[in-house]
Structure 1
Amino acid sequence: MASCCCTSTPLPSSSTSITKFISGQPYLSILETQCSTIKDLQIIHAQIIKSGLIKDTIAASRVLAFAATSPAADINYALKVFNQTQNPNTFTWNTIIRGFSRSSNPRMAISLFIDMLFHSSMDPDRLTYPSVFKAYAELGMAQVGAQLHGRILKLGMQFDVYICNCIVHMYANCGCFIEAFEMFGDGEDMDVVSWNSMIMSLAKVGKVDDARELFDEMPQRNCVSWNSMISGYVRAGKWGEALSLFGTMQAEKMKPSEFTLVSLLNASAQLGALKQGEWIHDYIKKNKVELNVIVTTAIINMYCKCGSIESACQVFESAPVKGLSCWNSMIMGLATNGRENEAIELFSKLGSSDLEPDDVSFIGVLMACNHSGLVGKAKHYFHLMRERYKIEASIKHYGCMIDVLGRAGLLKEAETLVKSMPMKADGVIWGSLLSSCRSYGDVKMGEWAYRNLINLGVGADEESCGHVLLSNVYASTGHFDMAMQERILMKQKQIDKNPGCSLIEVNGEVHEFLSGGRLHPQTPLLQNLILDDNFT
């Protein structure tokens, strides 16, 4: 008879109806088959307490498990349940420790483990330790976690695969690769989880070549392995390698996950590889991949970065759910693709939607104002951001405002804003001001901006840019001797000006051409095409 209550019928919506629904029925079955939210749990929990069933350790553990580890977990409610549990057993302790290790407060998992170790009658078992190692990994406390590793050795648990995986993950995630490799060895005795932990952690800190070596040596790979390697390449700016590896992944008939597809869309965006991005978008549609906010944002961003703004608009308009990141990507895309008025209009629509603009939204609308020279609107939005939405202006917001003022020739206002900034201006701001000084022939302010740029201790690229811009400032005002002096100074310092470059996509392959370059194998063909075009 117990099975008749385990139907898929959802719980009624009101508290009174739920109470009547569960009255006289097996509460634990309802908890396992019908409960989907903390509100549902609270009502069922109340009935379990009222019936006296809560005194049963198994019943209390089931309530705790839902509150601590289910998709609808509420770890604070779980802690209240745990504190009210009479005679918690090892399973109960493990559940609350595991719940906190996955929460935003992993430190509490360690605190509970210490309580279990010294203030309870229960001893930790092999299922307790992985959660504690996970907490140490999340907190970046590998040195303290090493003490627990020592306890594992004393207890003879070092050969437990589940525990080993968590120790490897802790060391690798904290950047302790010597200890991680000592534990990992040659990987022969490790499963795919440990291999993935090593690859993921190496890629995360930029050691993508080392990660690739391990990836190639893996005895078996799963989707996590491929995703970790591809996302590692994208994070390191090796977008071509990411797309190439995806080709290998396809050849091996491995189905990409949502995270892999997002990484590939980002790689296509950075390379301007529209055909590749369109293929990935088609793959998402054909395979009915869920168009959640993350995926939708990545598609919009890819089309915007590749200059296909109409396609981006279509994706945005047809999106089943528009998160704030979707709005931000669309506003930014319109602003950077010559559709400034539409970007400003979309920002206004965002303001009247259920969502509130954030700091990124305001960067987008300020960029739109900058590109269209709308100084008054830029000032309005800058004021609105701080006064109405209480958003502190970041260096990017200040950079947009200084650029829009400089482009409009309002150099004194730009100077005043720079001096009023609560943070030190960066190379982008000084470079922007230098560029405006060249346009309007303000030598004095140009020299001031240049000195501040150099005083930042910038790299060779930024210093080269500073010399070139100051030289142009002098040249624009007829001070050709001083302009030449800047160029000579660059040669004396052995600073080269980086040539401009362009990326073009031909038959799905992205090619880079340097300004004045002759090294690309397709250069003669391109020159012939240009000559033919001139004749026609």
Structure 2
Amino acid sequence: MLCSVSTLHLFPHPNSNSPTSQNLHNLLHSFNTPFELKQLHAHLIKTNTPLSTLPLPLTKLALVTALTPDFPYAQRVFKHLDKPEIVFWNSCLKAWAEGQSPFDAILLFYKLREFDIVPDDFTCSFVLKACAALSDVLNGRIVHGYVEKLGFRSNLFLQNMIVHLYALCGTMGDARLLFDKMSQRDVVTWNIMISQLVKGGDVEGAFELFSVMPERNVRSWTVMIAGYVQCGKPKEAIHLFMEMEEAGLRPNEVTVVAVLSACADLGALDLGRRVHEYSNCSGFRRNVRVSNTLIDMYVKCGCLKDACTVFDEMEERTIVSWSAMISGLAIYGQAEEALSLFSKMVQIGMKPNDVTFIGLLHACSHMGMIDKGREFFNSMTRDYGIIPRIEHYGCMVDLFSRAGLLQEAYEFIMNMPIKPNGVVWGALLGGCRVHKNIELAEEAIQHLLELDPLNDGYYVVLSNIYAEAERWEDTAKVRRLMRDQGVKKTPGWSSITVDGMLHEFAAGDESHPQAEEIFQMWGKLLQKLKIKGYVPKTSIVLLDVEENEKEKFLYRHSEKLALAFGLMKTPPGMPIRIMKNLRVCEDCHAAMKLISGIVNKEIIVRDRNRFHCFKDGSCTCNDYW
């Protein structure tokens, strides 16, 4: 074991009563150059202090002389000591490798080799750490060569460091080659490979290794769970978490964050609540990252009140906490509350960041607050020095487009200092559909076909715009263009979780085991709806078919089927939460408003843009979405 600070007892130790003891102590610890060190040495010899010992800080001596021409001078000092010389150079290597000067550690390593000082395994480990800090694979290969040459191949710690270095630097082929050749591996070795594969986006490759691991620890499971979340596979992440629980391992805070993120993506509220309870029992309540992820999970699962409770109970909040809560309020249509929370945040001295302003602009966009949106957009740079990103420009285009200010939205795009992307033009296209502006829609689609030619959503919107105008030939042209480009329309689906089980429905879906009962339930609802004045919005069925056929299409929309199933399976008073991958259609929106009043239930629908909370015959979006 290396000592962090060694001392050299070549000179007498001053008597505490001596008038020069403090001066001598200062001299011993104040030298910063080889010249000052030699002055100190000369002073001690000249004064011939008649005391027995004198402590000289050896780590400092090594640091001061390591990369200078006075290197041999330090060597001569070290040779008078009982400890091997490499011990003192290692202390210098460690300080640089773990500090702000990893490159100096590499230079010192070459200096040691120049003066034929034989490295030990500690030397190699510190230099490898410096190479990792710099992502320096070239020098790492050289150190690897020394490890082999000096006979340290059996040192598992060093082998793991080399595997990590190769993987970290993106040379996964070298990392895998060394991994396969290792005669001995431990769980750290496997975790290094899995972690770096996940970071490189090769989650399937990581899972292949994970599947054959002889031993797994919490980190192994956590890396794989987080990897699946990051690559957009929350179902696989949750399945793996279930296996981890069955294996008897207790999740740590990082695992909890990963699983909660998966729950947020899937809308898996029951599991999210269970993980929240486990987190509190395990003492993770004070972990800010856990709390921030809980806010996000509850928001995305349709439980805004629970998100607010987590936020209110936090002992410490970061800008992420405030931004997450502001964004959550925004997508629930509670713009005033979002803006009020922002005011409180500023009052306590918390400085907003770019993400905060995305939430604020969303709040303004979803509720048509044009002037407030302009004010926030201008305030970003003027008051906080935040340069707007493409997301902020997209929010502004969305704000103008939703409000029907299509020409202003178009001019805003044309005057952007950065190139607009597909999201920006897509926001304009969406506004063109709502406000039936075919000319600007055609302009937007020209840009979108260049920027994002495989996004089916844009083709569908333009096709719908033509269909609503009964320009059936143009509708057919768009469909043909999709076919020629190999673009397929994304199937719409809705999901609902009942008793911990996820049920998914597609439009017209008859595959569910209880499909017949679901259709019967919808039939009963339809009778009550018509008594309340419901008239099917057949104009949104963009097919050239008879009215009764259009009504049948409407009645089999996936969100209606999910709602009927939810009414069959949930007890009175329990909210129904539905997740939809596309935008809720106008007919379903109108029907759900009425149904919420008929059945006296809160119905929460999360679509790809926002949340709709139906209660007592109204929606939090105020029909502005």
The CA distance in 1 between the partners of 2:499 and 2:391, in whole Å, is: 37
**How many residue pairs end up in the alignment?**
476
Aligned to 1:333: 328
The secondary structure found in structure 2 opposite 1:513 is strand
Query: In the alignment, does 2:356 pair up with 1:373?
Result: no
Aligned partners of 1:533 and 1:104: how far apart in 2?
69
TM-score, length basis structure 2: 0.70
1:267 corresponding residue in structure 2 = 262
The one-letter amino acid paired with 1:248 is E
SS of the aligned residue for 2:132 comes to: helix
What's the counterpart of residue 199 of structure 1?
194
Match of 1:113 in 2: 109
Preserved contact between residue 59 and residue 92 of structure 2 (Cα < 8 Å): no
For the 8 Å contact 1:293–1:325, the answer to whether it is kept is no
- Secondary structure of 2:495's aligned partner: strand
**Structure 2 CA distance, aligned partners of 1:439 and 1:105?**
59
- Given the superposition, is the C-alpha separation of residues 423 and 524 from structure 1 closer, same or farther in structure 2, using an over 3 Å criterion? farther
1:319 shift after superposition: 0.2
Residue number in structure 2 paired with 1:152: 147
CA contact 2:67–2:108 (8 Å) conserved in 1: no
The alignment status of 1:501 with 2:493, answered yes or no, reads: yes
Quote the residue 2:522 is aligned against. 530
Question: Contact 1:231–1:260 at 8 Å: present in 2 too?
Answer: yes
1:60 paired to 2:57: yes
SS of equivalent to 2:393: helix
1:348 counterpart (307, 324, 343): 343
Match for 1:50 among 26, 33, 47? 26
Q: Is the 8 A contact 1:82 1:92 kept in 2?
A: no
CA deviations on 1:462-484 (whole Å, 9 max, x unpaired) are 1x222222223334445343233
In structure 2, what is the equivalent of residue 483 of structure 1? 475
Equivalent residue, structure 1, for 2:508? 516
Question: Which consecutive residues of structure 1, in runs of 5 or more, have no partner in the other structure?
Answer: 1-23, 25-45, 65-77
Measured in 1, the distance between the counterparts of 2:100 and 2:254 equals 22
Tell me, which stretches of 5 or more residues in structure 2 are unaligned?
Answer: 1-15, 17-21, 31-36, 38-52, 79-84, 529-625
Question: How large is the RMSD of aligned CA atoms in angstroms?
Answer: 3.2
Percent sequence identity over aligned pairs? 37
Matched-pair contact (CA < 8 Å) for 1:474–1:483: yes
Which of 444, 456, 474 is equivalent to 1:449?
Answer: 444
| Counterpart in the other structure of 1:470 | 462
Indicate the residue corresponding to 2:532 in structure 1.
Answer: none
1:509 maps to amino acid: M
User: d(CA) in 1 for partners of 2:55 and 2:126?
Assistant: 21
Whole-Å separation in 1 of the counterparts to 2:133 and 2:516: 54
How far is 1:328 from its partner? 0.9
Label 1:81 to 1:442 Cα distance change in 2 as closer, same or farther (>3 A): farther
Aligned counterparts of 2:361 and 2:64: Cα–Cα separation in 1? 47
Q: Which structure has the higher relative contact order (CA within 8 Å, separation 6+)?
A: 2
Q: In the alignment, which of 94, 101, 106 is matched to residue 90 of structure 2?
A: 94
Q: C-alpha deviations, 1:137-160, integer Å up to 9, x for none? A: 344333442232122222222221
> Is the aligned partner of 1:178 residue 2:173?
yes
Instruction: State whether residues 202 and 208 of structure 1, in contact with CA within 8 Å, keep that contact through their aligned partners in structure 2.
Output: yes
Supply the AA of the counterpart residue of 1:450.
Answer: I
Provide the C-alpha distance between the structure 2 equivalents of 1:104 and 1:298, rounded to a whole number of angstroms.
32
Aligned CA distance change for structure 1 residues 515 and 123 (closer, same or farther; 3 Å): farther
Q: 1:253 is matched with which residue: 248, 253, 268?
A: 248
Conserved 8 A contact 1:268-1:274 = yes
Q: 1:497–1:361: structure 2 CA closer, same or farther, 3 Å change rule? A: same
> 2:306 matched to 1:311?
yes
- Residue number in structure 2 paired with 1:407: 402
Distance 1:490 1:172, change over 3 A: same
Task: Kindly provide the CA deviation profile for residues 51-101 of structure 1, in whole angstroms up to 9, marking residues without a partner as x.
Answer: 84789998736899xxxxxxxxxxxxx978999999486445434544554
Q: Evaluate the alpha carbon distance shift between residue 199 and residue 491 of structure 1 in structure 2; reply closer, same or farther with a 3 A threshold.
A: closer
- 2:334 maps to a residue whose letter is R
1:402 is paired with a residue whose SS is: helix
2: CA distance, partners of 1:48 / 1:394? 59
Higher-helix-fraction structure: 1
Task: Report the counterpart of residue 413 of structure 2 in structure 1.
Answer: 418
Shift, 1:172, TM fit: 1.9
Change (3 A) 1:102 1:368: farther
TM-score (norm 1): 0.80
Deviations along 1:340-378, whole A, 9 cap, x unmatched? 211111111111122100000001101100111101000
CA contact (8 A) 1:271 1:503 kept: no
Q: Which of the pair has more CA radius of gyration? A: 2
- One-letter amino acid matched to 2:242: G
